[in-house]
Chains A and B, each alone.
Chain A
């Protein structure tokens, strides 16, 4: 391995870029801010790629490890590293950052430097979450990453942004505090270590495991979000600007799910198994209940937000059936959902920029005036309904197979998404895109420009390539997932 600290670069390059973008100041220098942001977003992606190309798939150990002392008095260290579970998310995040910068290029005309800076800084912090191996470092990144998102919703958001922000805040507050308590407890129990990997090996009684499981659950379930703590997400999406929605859906929702794999399962394996029936039930409720709720939404963003919750239900389901198909399928689903939901929100953003409406009823017949857009939107809608040869299929298929293997009825319940997911997505597509034009505003729409075409086409390529040949993605996960599952089945009692 080379000595280049790629993980630190993946964290700090975007943050430095964000600060530089911020330094360009007022909107007179907006174009400078845009190019600075694009340059650093691309640089962030460039330094993330070696993490994949240099990744050793044969081991489950942490790779690209960097360790420095930070606050020696409390044994808090700056320790970074990635394994087969986290490495793909660093890449996904760095990639989505580029998309977001391009997606906001002309759309954002006010406070451009702050907007771009917000996303870049958030990108760096999120890379930190996925690579932190120290509990405190993780906590700092985890909480800090919320601030840019709050600001993005609060400043560039819609009319009801205050309600959305408060709702989000209420939800996350309780969870975060409980997680902090759990981290401190683990620090005590482990004899003064904040190392997450040490905690994995820590023997814990069932009571302690139960409390820790619930403390982490309180934090992660909100982020995923799982039923019944999901209602902040539709509101946050509706109020967020397009870029905010893309990041929130593509990356934000993955943080909680990642937390389950990094903390809950390995630290409290017995509790995880004990509460698996509950987690599976909640996941299935998310898949089915939320699917039906999505069906009747009249606001496109809300519909896709609910669809995200439903898809994330598949992720948590995959985790808690504890078989390789389930966990790997869930991870694949997370990556795919990053592309697909990001693309769906980007498509809605394209429409919103032109019509300033998210209401399905205001559209109809878009294909007549925006054929290129309609074709791309069709692809993403099909991916959202899990059509084979798109990325959306891979994870769903694997989790469904894993679920049938675990228990037929759980697989049965999960597979209903095949019908419901297609129903809400295609019904929306039909009402928005197909049909004759009934609203004269629609007849004045212009098809996507080159900039919009480029970022949607890049997402389309990702969706298709991952659907046709997911092997390179599943290959990375095997060692770590197998190790994790082996670990989960060894009792800590």
Chain B
């Protein structure tokens, strides 16, 4: 093993070591021990990733096996690493955001009794996510895929005494399993027809597979594989209709909302499709499917962000919408644009979430934006970094989100694959929606009237009452509906968070502002991903864009004069007008368009549909099969029936064993007569 290979190994193992120490020996090492060892582990991992990044820049790509996991027939299942530009970019994003979140957690979870457990989980997550992105085969990909799902499950249910949290985590796991179902079938088809699960070997056979169909279905093989894999991505990256788990995942502590449910895990699906570009490029149908799903998610989840009052849920719906943008980019074969947006989004969305968390600390665990307002005075660092994050999110020129989102919009505009015009409509309207809900939140939280310290009546029908981010002390759990336990008391003022919280905000604000400007040229047009991402000739939207690209500065200046910028600005202005100048207007609109508002408030009734049809249906089916199939038919009729039949025969035969000689004698005579009859008639 070379030095470099040892370094590869160190990247996932360092966080794993931290997770094991903090998890199994949490009592021994104590709080300081637990956060020190996990932070050290992730820091080592981050530094190693930087070294590996330089190595990859120098042209060294690694694809090798670590160990053979199992073999069967001609199929060899292995664990191994593929280290190339895509991997190393993901490694940097994951370890950097994870490091920030680890530091932030010291402040956020300082009063929580599950402190060590939390650090153990987030380090375990980092390990799993790294195994996912560093994999060179589908088996390990699936391992990482499910392992991040497990940690997400554990973290959403971190405050395990809350009914909403433990409902949300189970829901998240099961919805993801629906996606994994498709994912597994995709992998199964690959194993069956390529005879290997190693990426490079599968890609080498892609051309050969393109002509095949799946026996007994008649589907084109590549399309079936890609759609199967993408269904997995729909679960993990929360695309419609498998998005339902992500808003509920906000039940988890805020640091993990930032790390798992915004920056890293939910982007695993995007990463995976980009990694599989040699397969997806061979199926126009699959790409169209990806495009339409992504566009729908981008726009319609954005709408939901408008009606949320819980600060975390606004950011959650924004995440859904942005994931939709990335998916759209995948659909138009602009893989590197998707990955680019993934990276910029990881920074500014982690920033927004951690900013929201800082606000929640300042508000003493009140998450309702209607109780906020004017916080900029009290929390200057949080305010300013959140402003930068929001600007980056809406695509304000020169900030990172501008470069990545604009590229996606331009790419969709140039694309000709079926669904592209629908997608263009969605992403362009989405720009306005994004700006509106982002700045609605911004103004409600940081500006305007100071509404905290008063008790506000809440709509009883909405589940925000459960969504509070508090600590798991028994007191809160017993009355988690009782708002008196959250929020600021009358006369109390919010306060800026401690440095362990604000430092990560500042460190995340920097890349949120500059990373797009600095990296757009190398990442999209400089051939950074050339050897990794494969784009067929007919899908060359990025090539066309490259011809129009004249540097990041020119693009930024030009950006000030485009339609998306105008839409974003009108969203901001409208939010300012509605929530700062004339707050009566939104209320009036809400009344006028009551049905639409109800539809949005109920999240298009996805949850209710799933609960009634799938959850209820499964229980009904189970009960029916059990009561009717097992108990009535099999047990009632066959098993107990045969027991009764045996009993019945026994009852009958008992009649003959009476013990009376004359009865036996009569039977004998009767039998002899019958036998004699046969005897005489035998011939």
Flag if B70 contacts A474 (CB, 8 Å). yes
Binds B, one of A116-124, A269-277, A387-395: A387-395
Residues of B within 8 A of A170 (CB): 639, 642-643
Q: How far is the CA of A220 from the CA of B170 in the complex (A)?
A: 37
Q: How many residues of B contact A (CB 8 A)?
A: 59
Known A289-B625, A469-B69; contact A295-B478, beta-carbon cutoff 8 A: no
Choose one: B157, B177, B188, B639; the contact of A171 (CB below 8 Å). Answer: B639
Q: B70 near A293 (CB under 8 angstroms)?
A: no
Task: For A474, list chain B residues within 8 Å (CB).
Answer: 70-72
Q: Given known contacts A382-B150, A434-B160, is B185 in contact with A411 (CB within 8 Å)?
A: yes
Residues of B within 8 A of A325 (CB): 72-73, 75, 191
Residues of B within 8 A of A232 (CB): 639
Q: Judge whether A422 and B173 touch: CB under 8 Å.
A: yes
A422-450 Cβ-contact flags toward B at 8 Å (1 or 0): 11001100100111100000000000000
Contact A423 B163 (CB under 8 A): no
A418 with B177: CB separation less than 8 A: yes
Contact B72 A408, beta carbon cutoff 8 Å: no
Interface size of A by CB at 8 A reads 64
Which residues B449-477 have CB closer than 8 A to chain A?
474, 477
Q: How far is the CA of A408 from the CA of B221 in the complex (A)?
A: 11
Interface centre among B73, B161, B642, B643 (most CB of A within 10 A): B73
Interface of B is mostly: helix
- Establish whether residues A404 and B192, one from each chain, have CB atoms under 8 Å apart when the complex forms: yes
Partner-binding segment picked from B210-218, B264-272, B335-343, B559-567: B210-218
Q: Is the CB of A394 within 8 A of B188?
A: no
**Is B142 part of the contact surface with A, judged by Cβ < 8 Å?**
yes
Chain A 137-167 near chain B by CB (<8 Å), digits 1 or 0: 0000000000000000000000000000011
Per the bound structure, the CA–CA distance linking A408 and B185 in Å amounts to 8
Q: Check: B622 CB closer than 8 A to any chain A CB.
A: yes
**B611 CB–A CB distance under 8 Å:** no
Which residue of chain B has its CB nearest to the CB of A365?
Answer: B161
B73 close to A323 (CB less than 8 A): yes
CA distance A325 to B74 in the complex (A): 9
Q: Which of B174, B184, B192 contacts A405 (CB 8 A)?
A: B192
Partner of A436 from the list B170, B215, B478, B634 (CB cut-off 8 Å) is: B478
A470–B75 Cα distance when bound, in Å, is 14
Among residues of A, the one whose C-beta sits closest to the C-beta of B217 is A408
Annotate B138-179 by CB proximity to A: 1 below 8 A, 0 otherwise. Answer: 010011011100100010010011010011001001100110
A408 touches B161 (CB 8 A): no
A419 lies within 8 A of B178 (CB): yes
Chain A residues 282 to 302 lying within 8 A of chain B, measured CB to CB, are 289, 292-297
Can you give 19 A-B contacts (C-beta < 8 A)?
A: A166-B643, A170-B642, A292-B618, A293-B622, A296-B626, A325-B75, A332-B70, A378-B154, A387-B150, A389-B147, A397-B139, A398-B72, A419-B181, A430-B170, A434-B161, A434-B166, A435-B163, A470-B69, A471-B70
A residues whose Cβ falls under 8 Å from a Cβ of B: 166-167, 170-171, 228, 231-232, 289, 292-297, 323-325, 328-329, 332, 365, 367-368, 378, 382, 387-389, 393-394, 397-398, 400-401, 403-405, 407-409, 411-412, 415-416, 418-420, 422-423, 426-427, 430, 433-436, 469-471, 473-475, 478, 482
B interface with A by C-beta (< 8 Å):
67-73, 75, 139, 142-143, 145-147, 150, 154, 157, 160-161, 163, 166-167, 170, 173-174, 177-178, 180-181, 184-185, 187-189, 191-192, 214-217, 224, 474, 477-478, 618-619, 621-623, 625-626, 629-630, 634-635, 638-639, 642-643
Considering the complex of A and B, which 10 residue pairs feature the smallest CB-CB distances, nearest first? A404-B188, A324-B73, A405-B192, A292-B622, A296-B622, A388-B143, A434-B166, A295-B622, A436-B161, A293-B626
